[in-house]
Amino acid sequence: MFGLFSGRKKHVANAVEHVRRYVTIIQKNQGLPAGFWESEYVLGWFHTMIGLVLKFSSQGKLATTELGFAVAETFEGVSGFNGTELVRRCSSLALHSPDFERGGDDAAAAMLFGMGSLKAPSEHTLVVHAKRIVGQSGQTGDIVGAMILLSLGKEVEKLQELRD
């Protein structure tokens, strides 16, 4: 049991480090608008990204309960808010929020494209638009960056407009 906990701790630290980069990029380039961690899209985006990073980091070896705790701990480490409450909100939103689902889909697309695992990338709208920005022969990392700007970055712009 203690081995599992320390394993979870290691995966959470890895996920916090990886996912915090996205928050830092948004914070430096656009600033985090009021209500950032309340946005259904943002919660969907980060919930999916955190889950994927933890699954890949642990090679799928975290049990469902451990994964749930790890997602909450990662959310808390990234946002500074109560991770358990954020996960509860995500669980509720997953049942009825198109914005939450869209955020999750966009995060999954960026992550899977970066890993070369996205099915039919040439048909994915986000990839197509990102390639227009960086050019058809752009490097994978540049395309993923453009995908994140076109998804999460655009959502932050909308939040800023709503708050202004």
Domain that holds residue 95: 2-163
* pLDDT score, position 135: 85
* pLDDT score, position 161: 87
Longest dimension (CA), the chain: 49
Distance CA 19, CA 1 (A): 26
* pLDDT score, position 6: 58
The two structure tokens encoding residue 79: 């946002």
* pLDDT score, position 137: 77
The two structure tokens encoding residue 13: 């630290």
- Number of domain units in the chain: 1
* pLDDT score, position 5: 47
Distance CA 112, CA 123 (A): 14
Per run of 10 residues, the mean pLDDT along the chain (length 164 residues) is 62 95 89 92 97 92 91 97 97 96 96 92 92 87 91 91 75
